[in-house]
Chain A
Amino acid sequence: MGLSVNIRKAVNGFKLDAQWAIGDELAVLFGYSGAGKSMTLQMIAGLLKPDEGAIHLNGRPVFNSAAAIDLPPQARSFGYVFQDLALFPPMTVRENIHYGARGLSKHERELRSRDMMERFMIAGLEKKYPREISGGQKQRVALARALIRRPDALLLDEPFSALDAPLRSEMRNFLKEIRREFPIPVVLVTHDLAEAAALADRLIILADGRVAQTGTASEVLNSPSSPEVELLVNTRDKLLHASIARRN
């Protein structure tokens, strides 16, 4: 099972034309700002309509312009973690997570949310409001809220960009851990090469709205298929090495 994406959209002179498919693995969409990464996620989730193309989740079409299929986001079963996390400010942590448990019985909702809060290490924060908890805790709440309904796939839009470096690596490990429990297709958008390399089962390089290369992280990093990808990966690599050297 998996996710296949074949979409085209033109907005304000920018053209996105991307085809890729993944199985039950963690795919990283990597590219510069403005390469069309976030736009792709929004189209997959149904928040933005492609001009044409098709999106299939576990073999089921959620969008197909030729067959006039365009399921609303409510009917697509994607967990979505927004870049700014989008926790509801007037709701407590518990209410935020429960809000994600639509369609579950009261009993089931209570059971799952208690279990998830335990394992996501946010137990004890039930009555706190989002403004009262730390950045890392907010991340975990947003993930718990997106996953409690057990969606068919998970979309993460630069979820760790607001965190400082140590916390970011902690969250990466945490994401790897919960992957074991949720073996579903995950698409993570980032412009941080270290993050991409650390997490990706499959790396999808987006440049100017097109897929420039896909492969495992080591394939793409070691043998870029074009000067364009090489530039993207190498520039980032050099900066990365420079920053590591500085730290040491």
Chain B
Amino acid sequence: MDNSLLFSMKLSAQVAAVATIFVVIVGLSAAYLLARKNFPGKELLDILLTLPLVLPPTVTGYYLIVLFGRNGLLGRYLYAWTGWSIMFTWYAAVLASFVVALPLMVKAARAAIESVDKNLINASYTLGHSEWRTAVKVVFPLAGKGIIAGTILSFARAMGEFGATLMLAGNLPGRTNTMPLAIYSSAASGDWSEANTMALLFTLTCGLFLYAANRLAKRVI
């Protein structure tokens, strides 16, 4: 196996894993808020979090450039302070995967949290437990199936992320070319045998991941 393939494989897994960690933290918090709280702007938050599911990833990527690019709405301050921009780094690939995968986690976890019996939550409160402890001890375990499903879906989506990553992180060999981007490069440059190898290997890896995830999910639940 040549080095560039190995690099792309490792990068894809690394990007998807780190993105998924953030997806779980942010997605679970957002899902809890949307499921259990009423606040002004709730509808708007829901729409914002769902949009990346509907928009073409290139459009999501475009907005991320507008926000985080070197001259972006937020990115320019970061650049002014630190001289660093997220553009064309592997962090950008993580950011792109995170934003695109987040809606899957929010949708799955929100539905699961909403289906938790309100009486169980009230019972925990009357037994003296705080909202935080109730969420951790009662709500999340009972919503476990949905949360695990959301996590698996998010990781899978992050592994396959292409469009937004291309916009934000570029396709720099040895730096930001995840498997989907590397496969695209090979095919675009006519190197079909390499494209073939990579596509097969990637498909096999993703298939193995899903198999392992399903086995694990069955054991946990």
* Residues of chain A within 8 A of B138, CB atoms compared: 88
Number of A-B residue pairs with CB-CB distance less than 8 Å in the complex they form: 57
A89-B142, A90-B142 known; A74 vs B129 contact (CB < 8 Å): yes
A109 contacts the other chain (CB 8 A): no
Q: By DSSP majority rule, is chain A's interface helix, strand, loop, or mixed?
A: loop
B128: chain A residues within 8 A (beta carbon)? 74, 77, 102-103, 149
Complex CA distance for A71 and B126, rounded to whole angstroms: 12
B144 to chain A, nearest CB (A): 8
Residues on B with beta carbons closer than 8 Å to the beta carbon of A84: 117, 119
Interface size on B, residues (CB 8 A): 16
Determine the distance from Cα of A166 to Cα of B138 in the docked complex, in whole angstroms. Answer: 33
Given A86-B117, A88-B138, does the pair A99, B122 have CB atoms closer than 8 Å? no
Contacts of B166-212 to chain A: CB distance below 8 A: none
Interface centre among A86, A90, A103, A145 (most CB of B within 10 A): A86
With a cutoff of 8 Å between Cβ atoms, the chain B residues found around residue A46 in the complex are 125-126
Say yes or no for A50: interface residue by CB 8 A criterion: no
B44 interface residue (CB < 8 Å to A): no
Q: Decide yes or no whether B124 CB sits under 8 A from chain A.
A: yes
In the docked arrangement, what's the CA distance between A180 and B55, Å? 66
A240 beta carbon closer than 8 Å to chain B: no
Which residues of chain B have C-beta atoms less than 8 A from A73's C-beta?
122, 125-126
Task: Tell me, yes or no, whether A80 is within 8 Å of chain B by CB.
Answer: yes
- Interface residues, chain B, with chain A CB atoms under 8 Å away: 117, 119-120, 122-130, 137-138, 141-142
> What residues make up the interface of A, taking CB atoms closer than 8 Å to B?
42, 45-47, 72-74, 76-80, 82-84, 86, 88-90, 99-100, 102-103, 145-146, 149
- Pairs across A and B, CB under 8 Å, 28 listed: A45-B122, A46-B125, A46-B126, A47-B125, A47-B126, A72-B125, A73-B122, A73-B125, A73-B126, A74-B125, A79-B126, A82-B122, A84-B117, A84-B119, A86-B119, A86-B120, A86-B122, A86-B123, A88-B123, A88-B138, A88-B142, A99-B124, A99-B137, A100-B127, A102-B129, A103-B128, A146-B127, A149-B128
